[in-house]
Amino acid sequence: MYENKEMRQVFGSVIEEMMGKDERIVVIDVDLAKANGTMKLREKFPERAFDVGIAESNAASIAAGMASYGFIPFVTTFTPFATRRMCDQIAISVTYAERNVKIVGTDPGISAELNGGTHMSMEDIGVLRSIPNMVIFEAVDNVQLAQALPQIVDYDGVVYIRMFRKTTPAVFGDDYKFDLFKADVVREGKDVTLFASGIMVAESIIAADLLKTEGIDAEIINIHTIKPIDRDAVIKSASKTGAVVTCENHNVIGGLKSAVAEVLVEECPVPMKAIGIQDHFGEVAKIDYLKKKYHMTAADIVAAAKEVISKKK
Amino acid sequence: MNKTEVINLQDKSRHIRRLIINEIGKLGVGHVGGSLSIVEALVVLYYKQMNINPANPKMEGRDRFILSKGHAGPALYAVLADRGYFDVSELDTLNIPETNLPSHCDMLKTPGIDMTAGSLGQGISCAVGIAKASKIKRDNAYIYTMVGDGECQEGQVWEAAMAAAQFKLNNLIGFVDNNGLQIDGTTEEIICLGPLADKWSSFGWSVQCIDGHDVEAIDNAILEAKKVQDKPSMIILNTVKGKGVPFIEAMGSANHSMPVSEEDRVRALAELK
């Protein structure tokens, strides 16, 4: 039902549906409602969908205040502003004070494309992951996002939702059952595990297909919730395959690689390699170009998989 | 307000100051200056103006107070204790491990604290959110907040100011504790706030400037603010940091966070009489 829809359209329509049923839900924009698919909410819910202008820190604290009154605010903006510009407010007004606020960041990492380096958040997960008690979720596709949002509303706590805005390949089918705190086995395999998040899940599926032609059986696990990470799923898969590649659209410092490594180094150290942003800033270009330039393609995942397999004892 | 009420609130202010001196004095260090400067405003709010119920701190539809200058927590704790939110003896636990009374206000720990604050500039934004929420609920509550004058150097204060005006939050009544001092010196020599009343006014607020130690003036200003129809109100309280204890007042910006020896405590209580 979500085919050919942009992720922001799905976000906007699911939120609209939930707002109709649940009067606690509020959407706070910071002059990016048109970009994020939330503009139309104002027609139907003029009191509960509003803009605070280009003032992200104010948005986060206003959300915390509204949460004190029993509302469940979603603050929506681009990922760099959702984290860099709101960091202290998320830490103190929201998380330290245990306010039930949801922060939505769109255009993560290289998906900011022509907005370029200033708008490419390589650090948002790393920044937020070190704030105690935050839940960090990165959506893979429309089906997952649509199932995730009601669970995020039901969860009483701070959640950061990291999502692509535009059209993204469908990964999950209609039979998909989402659990906010359980990682998804996208494909079972025995030779190597590809732990992937966000737009890199689709890339890792292409990589797994390529590996298959070479007789390598890759397992793909989607870590959609990077914090708290599903430790059991990470340990189970890494124990089985004995080799790991992480695939993320974020700096390899502080994000998915770090989260996976933190589990494995304690529980079952195995050869590991990280595909992602190798600790540098972004620049203007389309995603495909940047994937190639930053070594984030399926071919790069294949090479990394072979390398970790060769290091198995 | 009649004369008896004025005298009662003045007496109450003196009593609260004694509680603050003892509270911080027993610990030996704390934010004395900015706690003493806001006493009259807190007393008028908590003993006269606010619709609250100490037996039910989370009463729906209650008026709320957000101390954006969260470091003045000891003043608010003294008022809350005296008002019956918790036992006055708990004031002796200020800032000791496992206390419910941490240096900066924490809504998860202290009955009667309506919002956590401590990182300056955030509390007034939270108050804007709370006032907006109250409008949606149509519960006719008044939301009060207090910022420091030094705090007005934070950009977020002015983001909040613009939003409150845009949303026509006439249920939001703010105070600036305009004591002219901050940690590193006077506000004038650090980053001058200039014509503060004009600033708030130009940001779309109804503004009054009064003597922040005159309980009658504070009460009247709140009554005036409640008459404002389509905008938030700011009451600029001209205050003295460390008010009520001459030797602490004389310390100037050094009284922001200061050691209080047993000798200082006894002397301060004596000077308060």
- CA dist A211 to A136, B10, B216, Å? 30, 81, 80
Choose among B271, B41, B7, B12: nearest CA to B146: B41
Residue type at B7 in one-letter notation: I
The 10 Å CB-count burial string (b at 16+, else e) for A197-207 is bbbbbbbbbeb
Question: What CATH number is attached to the domain comprising A26?
Answer: 3.40.50.970
CB spacing of A65 vs B126 below 8 angstroms: yes
Q: Is B221 an 8 Å CB contact of chain A?
A: no
ipTM: 0.96
The answer to whether A137 touches A152, Cβ cutoff 8 Å, is yes
Is A170 a domain residue? no
Is A197 a domain residue? yes
Asked if A153 and A13 sit in the same domain, the reply is yes
Question: What CATH number is attached to the domain comprising A211?
Answer: 3.40.50.920
Asked if A205 and A302 sit in the same domain, the reply is yes
DSSP A93: I
Domains of chain B (ranges; CATH) run 3-272 (3.40.50.970)
pLDDT at B193: 96
Of A163, A198, A220, at which residue does a domain stop? A163
Asked if A90 and A39 sit in the same domain, the reply is yes
At B182-199, the pLDDT tens digits run: 999 999 999 999 999 999
pLDDT at A4: 85
pLDDT at B113: 98
Q: What is the mean pLDDT of residues B2-30?
A: 97
Is A146 a domain residue? yes
Mutate to test the interface with B, among A69, A86, A88 (most CBs of B within 10 A): A69
Bridge partners (DSSP) of residue B146 are: B67, B175
The beta-carbon neighbor of A64 closest among B108, B126, B163 is B126
Give the 3-state secondary structure percentages of chain A, helix then strand then coil, rounded to 5.
45, 20, 35
The mean pLDDT of chain B is: 97
B80 pLDDT higher than 80: yes
CB spacing of A97 vs B116 below 8 angstroms: yes
At what angle are helices A231-241 and A256-267 packed, to 10 degrees?
A: 70
The answer to whether B127 touches B119, Cβ cutoff 8 Å, is no
pLDDT at A202: 98
d(CA B160, CA B153): 13
The answer to whether A33 touches A76, Cβ cutoff 8 Å, is yes
Asked if A149 and A196 sit in the same domain, the reply is no
Choose among B246, B270, B258: nearest CA to B28: B258
- B116 contact residues in A (CB cutoff 8 A): 92-93, 96-97
- B114 contact residues in A (CB cutoff 8 A): 68
pLDDT at A113: 94
pLDDT at A1: 73
In sequence order, which residues have a C-beta less than 8 Å from that of residue B198 and are 6 or more positions away? none
pLDDT tens per residue, chain A (313 residues)?
787 899 999 999 999 999 999 999 999 999 999 999 999 999 999 999 999 999 999 999 999 999 999 999 999 999 999 999 999 999 999 999 999 999 999 999 999 999 999 999 999 999 999 999 999 999 999 999 999 999 999 999 999 999 999 999 999 998 999 999 999 999 999 999 999 999 999 999 999 999 999 999 999 999 999 999 999 999 999 999 999 999 999 999 999 999 999 999 999 999 999 999 999 999 999 999 999 999 999 999 999 999 999 999 7
CB spacing of B125 vs A93 below 8 angstroms: yes
Asked if A152 and A260 sit in the same domain, the reply is no
Is A1 a domain residue? no
Angle B77-B82-B83 from CA coordinates, rounded to 5°: 95
Domain count within chain A:
2
Shortest distance between the Cα of B41 and any Cα of chain A, in A, equals: 22
Q: Which residue in the block uniquely carries the two structure tokens 């996976």? A: A260
Of A163, A196, A216, at which residue does a domain stop? A163
Provide φ and ψ at B130, rounded to 5°: -65, -40
A108 lies in which domain range? 7-163
Residue of A nearest to B129 (CA): A62
CB spacing of B159 vs A93 below 8 angstroms: no
Asked if A19 and A124 sit in the same domain, the reply is yes
Q: What is the mean pLDDT of residues B230-254?
A: 97
Asked if A28 and A128 sit in the same domain, the reply is yes
Q: Give the number of other Cβ atoms within 10 Å of residue A5's Cβ.
A: 18
DSSP B49: I
The DSSP element (H or E) to which B178 belongs, if any, is strand B172-178
- A71 contact residues in B (CB cutoff 8 A): 133, 136
Is A173 a domain residue? no
Asked if A155 and A190 sit in the same domain, the reply is no
Q: Is B68 an 8 Å CB contact of chain A?
A: no
Asked if A146 and A200 sit in the same domain, the reply is no
d(CA A133, CA B253): 37
Q: Is B114 an 8 Å CB contact of chain A?
A: yes
CB spacing of B133 vs A68 below 8 angstroms: yes
Asked if A138 and A204 sit in the same domain, the reply is no
Confidence of residue B241 (pLDDT cuts 50, 70, 90): very high
B273 pLDDT higher than 80: no
The DSSP element (H or E) to which A160 belongs, if any, is strand A159-163
Asked if A215 and A140 sit in the same domain, the reply is no
Asked if A153 and A252 sit in the same domain, the reply is no
CB spacing of B122 vs A96 below 8 angstroms: no
